[in-house]
Amino acid sequence: MTQAPSAKPDHQRPELPDFWDKRFAAGATPWDHGSAPAELEALLPPPASATPPRILVPGCGHAREAAWLDQRGWAVTALDFAPAAIAAAREVLGEWGGELRCADFFDFPVAAPYDVVYERAFLCALPRKLWPGYGPRAAELVRPGGYLAGFFFFSDEPKGPPFGIGMAEQEALLSPWFERMVDAPAQAPIPVFAGGERWQVWRRR
């Protein structure tokens, strides 16, 4: 995605890979929770069909959920635009059956939409100026009847990352394409999000 010129150096701009490369290099990744959350386990049981359902994990970071999903038979694409995140993911994933891509969520090529897009610590990592593109892009990536599911960070704190969202703001962002089916507090929220995480499932219209 083409960005407007900025006075800040690249490593201070969260819309650019350099920002996240610096944090992975320093080991400053407090959003890395280390395991698959209980909500994901309840939502996504092992596939029963011969053709495994397809799931995208954008902003995958260390890709721990991607590894968990692959082990349970899902066809997983783990995506991140920061090379350091991809390197960290390779260490976690090892030999696996999924696809690991270093690419931008907003414009990477897709052959067919996914059954599920899994969200955790991705939207809140994006500067708010990029949010208007999130809803339509998610709609492109999820098949009709499929799901955008995961954890969203709610907060009125203006600074970030993480950049918190409000309920009305989120509704305006997603409701043209998705219907919210589930909304509940995270069972085990990541401490860096200070209890602002909510587990949600949105069905693609």
For residue range 67-103, what is the model confidence (pLDDT) as tens digits? 999 999 999 999 999 999 999 999 999 999 999 999 9
For the question of whether the overall pTM of this predicted structure is more than 0.85, the answer is yes
**pLDDT greater than 70 at residue 54:** yes
Q: Measure the CA–CA gap between 49 and 45, rounded to whole angstroms.
A: 12
Q: Measure the CA–CA gap between 194 and 177, rounded to whole angstroms.
A: 29
How much of the chain exceeds pLDDT 70, in percent? 97
Q: Which of 153, 165, 137, 160 is nearest to 13 (CA)?
A: 160
Band of residue 42 on the pLDDT scale cut at 50, 70, 90: confident
**pLDDT greater than 70 at residue 2:** no
pLDDT for the residue 151: 97
For residues 190-203, average pLDDT: 93
For residue 2, with 0-12 CB atoms within 10 Å meaning exposed, 13-18 middle and 19 or more buried, which class applies? exposed
46 to each of 49, 71, 97, how far by Cα in Å? 9, 9, 15
Q: How far is CA 96 from the centre of its chain?
A: 20
pLDDT for the residue 1: 52
pLDDT for the residue 53: 93
HEC secondary structure over the chain: CCCCCCCCCHHHCCCCHHHHHHHHHHCCCCCCCCCCCHHHHHHCCCCCCCCCCEEEEECCCCCHHHHHHHHCCCEEEEEECCHHHHHHHHHHHCCCCCEEEECCCCCCCCCCCEEEEEEECCHHHCCHHHHHHHHHHHHHHEEEEEEEEEEEEECCCCCCCCCCECHHHHHHHHCCCEEEEEEEECCCCCHHHCCCEEEEEEEEC
**Token pair of 177, please?**
């394409």
Contact 32, 67 (CB under 8 A): no
